[in-house]
């Protein structure tokens, strides 16, 4: 697949004020360790607009809903709506991926060309299938530069799972702030 050059990038969500979970923070849910968080969670209300960080191509766009039991107990937490966009870094000609999780709506599908700032989706409602059955409304945003084989990427790293390597994941805020001089800082 030919990937599109990405000359500049910017943040995926406007006017964010709160980050509820930082990159590589330990995640503990339902009394168990999920490992190290592989992205940054931007708290945002339901239906907040989510934008592409830069020019690219959608390589994954699906719903991975969470599950409730018949009596309303959480059986499984998941991504909800997720989109992954491939970008080509002009500095080193390598491909990297931006990942957007817990999307209520997704406006692009696999194979679609994306431009910087395209309105790609919205933040999903808390405790819904589209947000993966999480208590808070937020965008999980991550940067990945490892191999991509067309399958969903994880949100957490656990050494024993062997489904990814920690070095493939970049701290999103620093990545955007150092990619180009035109991106704004927090």
Assigned domain for 186 exists: no
Residue 72 sits at φ, ψ, to 5 deg, of 90, 5
Task: Grade residue 185 by pLDDT with cuts at 50, 70 and 90.
Answer: very low
The answer to whether 58 and 84 have CB atoms below 8 angstroms apart is: yes
Residue 184: inside a domain: no
Asked, for residue 10, whether it belongs to a domain, the answer is: yes
Domain CATH for 114: 2.70.70.10
Residue 124 in domain: yes
pTM of the complete model: 0.92
In a domain, 34, yes or no: yes
Q: What is the pLDDT of residues 109-168, one digit of tens each?
A: 999 999 999 999 999 999 999 999 999 999 999 999 999 999 999 998 988 878 889 999
Q: Give residue 1's pLDDT.
A: 67
How far apart CA 132 and CA 127 sit, in angstroms, is 7
Number of residues that make up the chain: 186
> 70 is in which domain, residue-wise?
5-179
d(CA 116, CA 98): 12
Summarised one tens digit per residue, pLDDT across range 47-88 is 999 999 999 999 999 999 988 899 988 888 899 999 999 999
Pairwise CA distance, residues 44 & 51, whole Å: 13
Whether residue 185 is contained in a domain is answered as no
pLDDT tens digit sequence for 100-121: 999 999 999 999 999 999 999 9
For the chain, the domain total comes to 1
Where residue 182 falls among pLDDT bands split at 50, 70, 90? low
Angle of CA points 49, 27, 52, to nearest 5°: 25
Strand partners, 42: 19, 139
**Residue 14 domain-assigned?**
yes
């Amino acid at each position: 697949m030919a990937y599109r050059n990405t000359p500049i990038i910017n943040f995926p969500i406007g006017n964010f004020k709160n980050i509820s979970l930082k990159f590589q923070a330990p995640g503990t849910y339902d009394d168990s360790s999920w490992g190290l968080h592989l992205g940054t969670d931007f708290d945002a209300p339901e239906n907040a607009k989510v934008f592409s960080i830069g020019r690219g191509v959608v390589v994954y766009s699906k719903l991975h809903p969470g599950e409730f039991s018949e009596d309303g107990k959480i059986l499984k937490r998941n991504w909800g709506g997720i989109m992954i966009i491939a970008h080509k870094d002009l500095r080193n000609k390598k491909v990297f991926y931006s990942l957007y999780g817990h999307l209520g709506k997704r406006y692009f599908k696999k194979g679609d060309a994306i431009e910087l700032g395209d309105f790609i989706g919205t933040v999903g409602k808390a405790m819904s299938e589209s947000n993966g059955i999480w208590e808070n409304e937020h965008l999980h945003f991550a940067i990945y530069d490892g191999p991509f084989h067309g399958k969903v990427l994880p949100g957490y790293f656990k050494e024993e799972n062997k489904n990814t390597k920690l070095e493939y994941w970049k701290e999103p805020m620093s990545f955007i702030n150092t990619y180009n001089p035109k991106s704004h800082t927090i």
